[in-house]
A and B are shown apart, each in its own frame.
Chain A
Amino acid sequence: MARIDLVDLAHSYGGNAAAPESFALKPVSMTWRQGGAYALLGPSGCGKTTLLNLISGIVTPSRGQILFDGVDITPLSTQKRNIAQVFQFPVIYDTMTVGQNLAFPLKNRGVPKGEIDARVAEIARLLDLTPFLDRKATRLTADAKQKISLGRGLVRSDVAAVLFDEPLTVIDPELKWQLRSKLKALHRELDLTMIYVTHDQTEALTFADTVVVMHDGRVVQSGTPAELFDKPAHTFVGYFIGSPGMNIVPAEVRGREARIDGHTIALDRSYDALPPGAKIEVGVRPEFVDVAPPAPGLLSANIERIDDLGRIRFARVRIGDAKFAAKVPPGFSIADSTAGLVFDPSHVHVYADSLLVEGKA
């Protein structure tokens, strides 16, 4: 396994002379530590697959370098980079047994038989594949085949990194739970650097120690799941992480107060020097706003709908023209189409031109 450094890395499918704004990946420099579990998260077209393809060597960057343990590997082919990959659909040999499929990447590299057997047994045990080792792969379900693909990706202990490209897309929800927690346990046991590309926030947040959120060719935030949830650095992160996403509404902010739709709410921190002319917005997650009976002093909103998600209920409301979601406390019954909103000031953030502003205590 290896530490991976991206140094001023950028890519345009139109070549280096293309306009900077058209780059599929805008210049990025960052370090991924050895043995880390990373997720690249973003919607289609955000550049996450481009970044993965640059790391695997399928695509050569227009600009910048990729270092594995300090060594520039930018000019090397995929084969020479010593990485393992797992794709969206199972890639296995139907005519081989499960055991032969798992052994294949090792056999290919001339690893001694004793070592192969030991490693295959370990991976099979970790993935609950031991009872199937002598079965032909062809008769297995799609789920089981994808498990074998995961096993083949993980079987080599000497790889610089294992790259996963949406590996659970074709898996049913219940098995997804099992495989996701399995992958996380595997990461801990095998001490491999893992990079997991997905558009699914649940997969990204539950798998990774560090989630790299991409939007429009840029890395907009890189952090732990808790950091992305508690303190989104960009309104896009607020919107994309969380379901429903963060409420983001236009506001006038002065000192410790924000005015939203003619109503003032308190802020936990002070915002004095906001950039002049910037678009100022307030962001607050639905989890930190409760609906309550309308009362003087509360921001009032029109309730459009209640979403009952089983373990939590969200009210979909409108503040003026803006859509807004708020938590319905357990036992609270909605009698009226109007409700008051109660904000938790410590979770209300201020954004200037989509970027988080750090207030003063």
Chain B
Amino acid sequence: MSVTLQNVTRSVDGIPTIRDVTLTLERGTLSVLLGPTLSGKTSIMRLLAGLDKPTTGRVLVDDKDVTGFDVRQRSVAMVYQQFINYPSLTVYENIASPLRVQGKPRLEIEKRVQEAAKLLKLEPYLNRMPLQLSGGQQQRTAIARALVKGADLVLLDEPLANLDYKLREELRTELPRIFEASGAIFVYATTEPSEALLLGGNTVCMWEGQVLQAGETPRVYRHPDTLRVAQVFSDPPLNIVGIEKRNGSVQYAGGVQAPASGLYAGLGDGSYRVGFRAHQLEVANGVAGRHAFQATVTVTEITGSESFVHLNRDASNWVAVLHGVHEFPPGHVLDAALDPNNVFVFDTAGRLVAAPSAM
């Protein structure tokens, strides 16, 4: 089975929320909708579910037009950011509820609830009421109910956003296994690049109601088509600097000149924007083949395993990440360096023209 949005546009009160989106989702795949708040993730899910109708364009299921079909006629399950369970029913009955609505035989209900409970580690809590559970257990109950329904399309809208950090981490590592076991079409919305990377599958990068890029998650991360995709898919935020290439050398904005080595060698003369993630900015000097900068430390954030050094250079703010504990006082002038083989180069329209070769 597959679901397709074909040239879908949706406007609310004349304001476009979704702009010409074409997207196909296949059975047994997980697609992460990645984008900031208001980029259209929830709108896409509502269109896929049939909760909203497109203003123009079509929704196809296996090439059959279902644009006019109501949500009740589609095979969809949805999990929201807020945990939604029936407070007066036990965890068991919460998970069983879609099967009871479908009129399934008692033995089948028993079997499927137990399977889902096992998958989501809810077996010890089946007789409890939802409000006696932790947030993570409540959300696992909601996910179990969505899975047990056997829907063709399972939509999860920032399902971990309201959970504690560690619970998020645990559920994130469990979810890919749960998705694999179910075989449905999964769609998962998040604002966090790290979540997309951990979940794997495909990433659909969204911005202002448009799909900027869709593809296998590591591919989108390592080969962003545009500067905007690289920005949406970077945490810490992407570092950016303008360059001019002329006569075999590059001039960085703010006055550093270097030979046009590495990825710069293949560029035609002209202006470009160079993007690099925090881990691509090295704190070092005198390394052969690197392009050296001086930048002023504004803040150092230490997580123990890593130190994030916020830098100011020529009116732009950069972040570098270093392994281990490194404390630099504010105002300290630091030697930073870029490997000309390890940057993303975009043209003035923001299109990718050079990227590091795959690791």
Interface residues of B in 215-262 (CB under 8 A from A): 218, 221, 235-237
What's the least CB distance linking B246 to chain A, in Å? Answer: 33
B343 at interface by CB-CB < 8 Å = no
Q: Are A181 and B277 in contact (CB under 8 A)?
A: no
Q: Are B277 and A310 in contact (CB under 8 A)?
A: yes
Knowing A185-B298, A206-B302, the reply to whether A240 touches B237 (Cβ < 8 A) is no
Tell which of A181, A226, A242, A330 touches B299, judged by Cβ atoms closer than 8 Å: A181
Tell which of A207, A285, A307 touches B173, judged by Cβ atoms closer than 8 Å: A307
Knowing A177-B237, A226-B325, the reply to whether A201 touches B194 (Cβ < 8 A) is no
A205 at interface by CB-CB < 8 Å = yes
Specify the chain B residue showing the minimal Cβ separation from A206: B301
B330 at interface by CB-CB < 8 Å = yes
Interface residues of B in 327-351 (CB under 8 A from A): 330
Number of A-B contacts (CB under 8 A): 99
Tell which of A172, A224, A242, A331 touches B305, judged by Cβ atoms closer than 8 Å: A242
Tell which of A177, A184, A200, A229 touches B236, judged by Cβ atoms closer than 8 Å: A177
A180 and B279 CA atoms in complex are apart in Å by 19
Main secondary structure of the interface of B (DSSP, over half): mixed
- Type the 1/0 row for B273-306, where 1 means its CB is closer than 8 Å to any CB of A: 0000111000000000000000000110111110
Specify the chain A residue showing the minimal Cβ separation from B279: A311
Interface residues of B in 194-225 (CB under 8 A from A): 194, 197-198, 200, 218, 221
Interface residues of A in 9-65 (CB under 8 A from B): 43-45
Q: Are B304 and A199 in contact (CB under 8 A)?
A: no
- Type the 1/0 row for A158-191, where 1 means its CB is closer than 8 Å to any CB of B: 0000000000000011100100110011001000
Contacts of B192 in A (CB 8 A): 173
Contacts of B166 in A (CB 8 A): 43, 199, 239-240, 245
- Type the 1/0 row for B4-36, where 1 means its CB is closer than 8 Å to any CB of A: 000000000000000000000000000000001
Tally of contact residues, B, Cβ under 8 A: 40
Interface size class of A (residues with CB under 8 A): 35 or more
Interface residues of A in 197-247 (CB under 8 A from B): 199-202, 205-207, 224-226, 228-230, 239-245
Contacts of A330 in B (CB 8 A): 359
- Type the 1/0 row for A297-311, where 1 means its CB is closer than 8 Å to any CB of B: 000000001011111
Question: Looking at B166, B167, B193, B200, which has the most chain A CB atoms within 10 Å of its CB?
Answer: B166
Contacts of A281 in B (CB 8 A): none
Q: Are A185 and B299 in contact (CB under 8 A)?
A: yes
Question: Looking at B176, B299, B303, B359, which has the most chain A CB atoms within 10 Å of its CB?
Answer: B303
Knowing A44-B135, A172-B37, A308-B218, the reply to whether A206 touches B308 (Cβ < 8 A) is yes
Specify the chain A residue showing the minimal Cβ separation from B39: A172
Q: Are B277 and A43 in contact (CB under 8 A)?
A: no
- Type the 1/0 row for A265-278, where 1 means its CB is closer than 8 Å to any CB of B: 00000000000000
A156 at interface by CB-CB < 8 Å = no
A43 and B137 CA atoms in complex are apart in Å by 14
A5 at interface by CB-CB < 8 Å = no
Specify the chain A residue showing the minimal Cβ separation from B323: A287
Q: Are A310 and B221 in contact (CB under 8 A)?
A: yes
Contacts of A184 in B (CB 8 A): 299, 301
Knowing A43-B164, A173-B235, A174-B36, the reply to whether A226 touches B302 (Cβ < 8 A) is yes
A141 and B280 CA atoms in complex are apart in Å by 32
Contacts of B305 in A (CB 8 A): 229, 242, 285, 287
What's the least CB distance linking B347 to chain A, in Å? Answer: 23
A199 and B167 CA atoms in complex are apart in Å by 10
What's the least CB distance linking A346 to chain B, in Å? Answer: 13
Tell which of A177, A205, A241, A316 touches B319, judged by Cβ atoms closer than 8 Å: A177
Specify the chain B residue showing the minimal Cβ separation from A306: B200
Contacts of B299 in A (CB 8 A): 181, 184-185
Tell which of A199, A206, A229 touches B164, judged by Cβ atoms closer than 8 Å: A199
What's the least CB distance linking A217 to chain B, in Å? Answer: 16
A316 and B237 CA atoms in complex are apart in Å by 28
Q: Are B304 and A230 in contact (CB under 8 A)?
A: yes
What's the least CB distance linking B163 to chain A, in Å? Answer: 9
A224 and B304 CA atoms in complex are apart in Å by 9
Contacts of B197 in A (CB 8 A): 308-310
Q: Are A225 and B302 in contact (CB under 8 A)?
A: yes
A149 and B76 CA atoms in complex are apart in Å by 40
What's the least CB distance linking A303 to chain B, in Å? Answer: 14
A181 and B308 CA atoms in complex are apart in Å by 10
7 closest cross-chain pairs (CB), A and B = A229-B304, A206-B301, A311-B279, A181-B299, A226-B325, A205-B303, A199-B164
A-B contact pairs, 16 of them (CB 8 A): A44-B134, A174-B36, A180-B301, A181-B299, A181-B310, A185-B330, A201-B303, A206-B302, A207-B301, A225-B302, A226-B302, A229-B305, A242-B304, A308-B200, A308-B218, A309-B194
What 17 additional pairs, Cβ within 8 angstroms, besides A172-B36, A173-B192? A44-B164, A172-B37, A174-B237, A177-B236, A181-B298, A184-B301, A185-B298, A205-B304, A224-B302, A225-B303, A225-B325, A226-B304, A229-B305, A243-B165, A245-B169, A311-B278, A331-B359
